[in-house]
Amino acid sequence: MSIWKYSSPQVFYPIAGSMVPWFAGAAAMLTVLGLYVGFFVAPTDFQQGEAYRIIFIHVPAAWMSMFIYLVMAFWAGVGLAFNTRLSSMMAHALAPTGALMTFIALWTGALWGRPTWGTYWVWDARLTSELILLFLYIGYMSLAAAIDDPRRADKASAVLALVGVVNIPIIYFSVQWWNTLHQGASVSLTRAPSMATTMLTGMLIMVFAFWMYSIAVSLVRLRHIILERERNAAWVTEIRAG
Amino acid sequence: MNAGLAQVCGALIARDALIALRRRADVLTTFFFFVIVVSLFPLGVGPEPERLREIAPGVVWVAALLASMLALGRLFAADFADGTLEQMALAPQPLSVLVLTKVAAHWLTTGLPLVVISPVLGLQFGLAGDALLVLVWSLLIGTPVLSLIGSVGAALTLGVRGGGALTALLVLPLYIPGLIFGAGAVGAVQAGLGVAGHLSMLGAILLLALATTPWATAAAVRIALE
Amino acid sequence: MNAGLAQVCGALIARDALIALRRRADVLTTFFFFVIVVSLFPLGVGPEPERLREIAPGVVWVAALLASMLALGRLFAADFADGTLEQMALAPQPLSVLVLTKVAAHWLTTGLPLVVISPVLGLQFGLAGDALLVLVWSLLIGTPVLSLIGSVGAALTLGVRGGGALTALLVLPLYIPGLIFGAGAVGAVQAGLGVAGHLSMLGAILLLALATTPWATAAAVRIALE
Amino acid sequence: MLEAIALCCTRGERSLFADLSFGLPQGIALRVRGENGSGKTSLLRILAGLAPAAGGEVRWKGALLCDLGEDYLSQIVFIGHANALKDDLSAVENLRYGLALSGIAVAEAACRAALAEDGLGRIADLPVQWLSQGQKRRTALTRLAFCRSRPLWILDEPFSALDGSAVSRLAERLQRHLGDGGMVVFTTHQEVPLGFVTQGLELQ
Amino acid sequence: MLEAIALCCTRGERSLFADLSFGLPQGIALRVRGENGSGKTSLLRILAGLAPAAGGEVRWKGALLCDLGEDYLSQIVFIGHANALKDDLSAVENLRYGLALSGIAVAEAACRAALAEDGLGRIADLPVQWLSQGQKRRTALTRLAFCRSRPLWILDEPFSALDGSAVSRLAERLQRHLGDGGMVVFTTHQEVPLGFVTQGLELQ
Ligand code: HEM
Ligand SMILES: Nc1ncnc2c1ncn2[C@@H]1O[C@H](COP(=O)(O)OP(=O)(O)OP(=O)(O)O)[C@@H](O)[C@H]1O
Ligand SMILES: Nc1ncnc2c1ncn2[C@@H]1O[C@H](COP(=O)(O)OP(=O)(O)OP(=O)(O)O)[C@@H](O)[C@H]1O
Ligand SMILES: [Mg+2]
Ligand SMILES: [Mg+2]
């Protein structure tokens, strides 16, 4: 009971509300700090000059894109197993942020590719699998959107999310697999070692910044979903009233 | 109280647009299907930019072909199953016009989006500026042809289980001229040749399709209803 | 008088086979669709033999992918519409097994024919003997994977309008690993490399799919029936 | 007004009915009776011009259907076994666009009112796919409220899935239509209390 | 045998019925009444275990449905609005495979005999898509002839589209089943002459 009580939208709604400012604040501060380290402290890269600084956006976004999917699938699965409405709503709240992160990773990556590879897009395994991830997020959201009955939408999209989890390891290891197919060298990996500690710290700070941001935004979205779903519940109408 | 032809067609478009809106997912999926299919090829064919650039026009066009073919399933099938088509045939307006209207609405929701996104996909395959432009033009003239021809196939296979695949079988061959001239145009500009010839051929095909297919489709619909 | 699981599954396969027989058109169309799509590419891409040989594995595999995806429409949709699926869910046998049986029947009528014809198409693209052999093997292991993964998508989109395209959107991304290893195997043998790695990866994927998808599909079916 | 002369209908090798003749004057309802599979639906579809007869002819005001074409279609309403409703649209939208399709322009408010009158007020805005069997049927039948200007109504099993009150409401509507000099051709297996006399046509 | 305890059913925001309780002893037929959209079909689907109830529980011989799972399914027959017939198969084939699917193996001859008994002899080999509305429904109902060993029959609008003789034949079949100690839960809007007393359940 003690834990389960938080699985009630009514209980969680105000809690989420009170948490949002903290995460938002943390996100803001970390972003400022991270960008400062990234753009003023971290030295210019001897190979790439300034272009490499995209890494401070790119890598955090890329990591979050994968991490968020796992979390989303987890909550969706919980919702499917225990029929807890809140966890399904949580999954739905996470999806758009995950898609956004994926998109940012793709976008910044593409921008980065221009100076380093001389082209916006290469059918490198990592790029491709990241693209698949984007498609999965889109599929998840489209399926949820295509079904009118919320309860059915929750369950159906949950099944999809769980099946899609298979793709995450694929993203991570696709590099090796691809190399066994074609010799398209994945820049991401080769560059990783040659990374100055300041870069690394700046990058990690940005990772936490993105993390906080994702949580904050998801919570806000979650509150909207709760209001939308529970709109005839007594407590919601009270909130609306006062 | 009795409405004129224009009004009826207006209502028909409005209705289909509304359904498309309700089923946003629907419209988007044709769109994403197109994107995904195009993206599949580099995976199968391998990432060499040079080779990709060469096959780009063919791939994009074939993908457009398949996407608009998949979308045909939504052109009449549902209306047939739930009896709406029956009511259309009973409407005191020429069926061919009503059919044409439906096809137009269908193109707006399925064909047009493909045209809009095509440049991005072209970029992925490393097409140059002028090639991109021609690609867009060829699709802009070509996709309506696909919808028109497709409508005949869709109507012919009404009430036949597995219609989807059968439609494919019927219409794909008819799509081929469009494919040849469409992809040909892009290929030509890549090879530094003129494209006017190809595009005007496409235009001619479009006019021909506009003039003939509505009647054929209407006839096919009536047959399906007998 | 009460029949065991084996008997029920037998009846299910017999029934689907009989329907496929009545609807020969259906089976043939998936098949011809495959053939046509593959044959479209030389038209779009141009006739250079060298280039064709290079893109052959990718094209054949993508076509197989699209063909078996198109066929998904026939996997559950009809049974759902006419209430048969309801009866399946009410059958006193584990639904996941029944589902698996249906997928098997589906593969026999849609996947297998593709495997059988693939060498001919490979020849069209000028593939060498060993490459042809690998192509057949890769498809033989790969197409069941496509059917299994597809079944999840098909079940998830039951009763959802625009099912066809939505299914595509859901399953195509999941098909990609299969595509990579399948086409990769053929590419590898063309490049004179070993193929054991690719094929065993495909096999692993098949086992994974066999172990997991039936449950997912069964769950999706139950959800659709609620 | 409506005349059938020596109609024949064959399905496959089987002949359902042969040289069937009848006339339907204004203000009269024709109830087509017959056991399952006797050919009622087939007959109604022929009368609506949806399917051709194997033999014989159908005349409207003395002219052949095939000659009249759209002029005839603007005189009739046909509601078959299928409801012709779009699952994704609400009852109101379905009614509105359904009517527009058959050339009758109606304001949304009017549709809403008509639905409310038929006791469908509270579900008027739900997607039809959520409605119950009977609610769907009733939504399909509501269009009749706007078709009083069309003399000939052809209804196949209109009462199926309707609850008691809906049945009597429909019966009244038919009666009113007949009173206005309209004509109704319908089939039903249920013994429904009709407030009007019907001319029977037995198929076997 | 069958017990419903404080069942609730909500669709969207709407609650169809709440805290509905009843018990069904052997040999009794339960007729679920209610106007269109009152929740009859929803209730029947819950009883068949196809849809979960929003609240409350269903017990069979004292055990919960969810615990019984397939043991329960092998005790019931459910025939809904949909006929579960394959258009491309003949009536015989449909009957045979339909039964096999629900775990009842029957010889073709037996199926043919059963169809003939229900007056469908001459159309037994036509593809179902050619059959008339009522013939389809009757084909679907014929499976009951082989389900006498299953105590609980759940039938949604079984009489719809049936002609007079078919209705009485079905009524007799139900009566016989009840006589054998079976149970029937059904809905119908028609006033059909049933040869047995039914326990009524009114939904509003
Ligand atoms: C659209 C293009 C790109 C995409 C989709 C993409 C995707 C990803 C993903 C998913 C990751 C995180 C996975 C991991 O850390 O193993 C990642 C990390 C990384 N990417 Fe990219 N990338 C792209 C382009 C680039 C480019 C052009 C560069 C540099 C020239 C680059 C450099 C890196 C680096 C250094 C990492 C961190 C690797 C590590 O330390 O783990 N990426 N990228
Ligand atoms: N191809 C065919 N070969 C033989 N008989 C056919 C064929 N197609 C249809 N039929 C028969 O034609 C009849 C169709 O009749 P119809 O649907 O008009 O019946 P109905 O009077 O409407 O019956 P119901 O009361 O059940 O609606 C059925 O008896 C059917 O068996
Ligand atoms: N998502 C939803 N939101 C609101 N109401 C809904 C929703 N889904 C279904 N309903 C309502 O639930 C009811 C479904 O009832 P059901 O189909 O069980 O009726 P029924 O008693 O079988 O009616 P009939 O006699 O017409 O068959 C309908 O009134 C329908 O309007
Ligand atoms: Mg009939
Ligand atoms: Mg009902």
Predicted confidence at residue B177, as pLDDT, reads: 87
Write the CA distances from C117 to B7, B44, C34, C75, C175, integer angstroms: 51, 19, 9, 22, 21
**pLDDT (mean) for C66-84:** 85
Residue D134 alpha carbon, nearest atom of ligand 3 = 26
- What pLDDT is attached to residue A115? 79
Task: Kindly report the pTM of this predicted structure.
Answer: 0.83
User: Does the beta carbon of A221 lie inside 6 Å of ligand 1?
Assistant: no
Pocket flag, ligand 3, residue E175 (CB < 6 Å): no
* Residue E204 beta carbon below 6 angstroms from any ligand 3 atom: no
Q: Which residues of C touch E127 (CB under 8 A)?
A: 22
**Binding site membership of D97 for ligand 3 (Cβ less than 6 Å):** no
Given this model, what pLDDT does residue A183 score? 29
Residues B137-146 have a mean pLDDT of: 93
Q: How far are the Cα atoms of B188, B207, C6 from residue B199, in angstroms, in the given order?
A: 11, 13, 60
CB D191 to CB E189 under 8 A? no
The closest CB to that of A145, out of B24, B42, B43, belongs to B24
Residue A48 has pLDDT above 70, yes or no: no
DSSP B118-131: HHHHHHHTT--HHH
Residue A186 has pLDDT above 50, yes or no: no
> Ligand 4 being an ion, which residues bring their Cβ within 5 A of it?
D 41; E 132-133
Q: How many helices (H) and strands (E) does chain B have?
A: 9, 0
Please report the pLDDT score of residue A46 as a whole number: 64
* Top-confidence residue, C96 or B123: C96
What is the pairing mode between strands E63-64 and D152-156? Answer: unpaired
Least confident of A45-54, A61-70, A219-228, C92-101: A45-54
Residue A47 pLDDT class (50, 70, 90 cuts): low
Q: What percent of chain A stands above pLDDT 90?
A: 36
Task: Specify the DSSP class assigned to residue E199.
Answer: E
Task: Measure in Å the smallest separation between the Cα of B120 and chain A Cα atoms.
Answer: 11
Say whether pLDDT at A188 is over 60.
no
ipTM: 0.80
Is pLDDT above 90 for B224? no
In chain B, residues with a C-beta closer than 8 Å to the C-beta of A143 are: 25
pLDDT tens digits, residue range C147-180?
999 999 999 988 776 666 788 888 888 888 888 8
Q: Of E36, E44, E187, which is best to mutate to test ligand 3, by the most ligand atoms within 8 angstroms of its C-beta?
A: E36
**pLDDT at A180 (0 to 100):** 37
Which pLDDT band holds residue A182 (cuts at 50, 70, 90)? very low
Interface check B1 vs A, CB under 8 A: no
Q: Quick check: A233 pLDDT over 80?
A: no
What is the DSSP code (8-state) at residue A38?
I
Which residues of chain A make contact with D90, given a CB cutoff of 8 A?
Answer: none
Amino acid at A212: M
Q: Using DSSP, state whether A130 is helix, strand or coil.
A: helix
Host H or E run for residue E10: strand E2-11
What is chain D's pLDDT, residue by residue, as a tens digit (204 residues)?
899 999 999 988 889 999 999 999 999 999 999 999 999 999 999 999 888 899 999 999 999 988 888 889 889 999 998 888 887 788 999 999 888 888 888 999 999 999 999 999 999 998 888 899 999 999 999 999 999 999 999 999 999 999 999 999 999 999 999 999 999 999 999 888 888 888 999 988
H-helix or E-strand spanning residue E123: none
pLDDT beneath 50: ranges in chain E: none
pLDDT at A185 over 50: no
Are D161 and E165 inside 8 Å of each other by CB? Answer: no
Q: Percent of chain C at pLDDT above 90?
A: 36
Ligand 2, atom 3: nearest CA belongs to which residue?
D12
Question: Does residue A169 carry a pLDDT above 80?
Answer: yes
Residues of D with Cβ-Cβ distance to B86 under 8 angstroms: 50, 78, 80, 82, 84
Q: Which of A164-168, B188-192, C197-201, C203-207 is predicted most confidently?
A: C203-207
Per-residue model confidence (pLDDT) at position D104: 87
Q: Residues B66-105, buried b or exposed e (16+ Cβ, 10 A)?
A: bbbbbbbbbbbbbbbebbbbbbbbbbbbebbbbbbbbbbb
Cα E187 from chain centroid?
Answer: 9
What is residue C110's three-state secondary structure?
helix
pLDDT of the residue at A166: 81
A96-100 long-range contacts, CB within 8 A, separation 24+: A96/A141, A96/A221, A97/A68, A97/A214, A97/A217, A97/A218, A97/A221, A98/A64, A98/A65, A98/A68, A98/A69, A98/A72, A98/A137, A99/A134, A99/A137, A99/A138, A99/A141
pLDDT by residue (tens digit) across A93-111? 999 999 999 999 998 988 8
> In degrees rounded to 5, what are phi and psi of residue D149?
-80, -10
Contacts of D127 (CB under 8 A, 6+ apart): A148, B22, D87, D88, D89, D90
> Which is it for strands E198-202 and E29-33: parallel, antiparallel or unpaired?
parallel
**Residue A181 clears pLDDT 60, i.e. is over it:** no
pLDDT band at A177 (very low <50, low <70, confident <90, very high): low
pLDDT tens sequence across C2-13: 567 888 888 889
pLDDT tens per residue, range D119-176: 999 999 988 888 999 999 999 999 999 999 999 999 999 999 999 999 999 999 999 9
Q: In this predicted structure, which of A167-171, B63-67, B193-197, D92-96 has the lowest mean pLDDT?
A: A167-171
The pocket around ligand 2, CB under 6 angstroms, is made up of D 11-12, 14, 16, 34, 36-42; E 123, 126, 130-135, 161
Rounded to the nearest 10°, the torsion over CA E39, E43, E49, E55 is 90
Q: How far C101 CA sits from the closest chain E CA (Å)? A: 12
In which residue are the tokens 């380093």 written? A116
Mean pLDDT of all residues in B2-26: 75
Computed over every residue of chain B, the mean pLDDT equals 83
**Residue contacts between A and C (CB atoms, under 8 Å):** 71
What are the pLDDT digits (tens) for A130-157?
888 998 998 899 888 878 788 888 999 9
More confident residue, B79 or E121: E121
The pLDDT score that the predictor gives to residue B23 is 67
Please state, rounded to an integer, the average pLDDT across all residues of chain C: 87
| Section A208-214 average pLDDT | 94
Q: Which ligand is nearest to the CA of E42?
A: 3
Interface membership of D129 toward A (CB under 8 Å): yes
Ligand 3 proximity of E80 Cβ (cutoff 6 Å): no
* Whole-Å CA distances, D10 to B222, D6, D45, E90: 19, 13, 13, 20
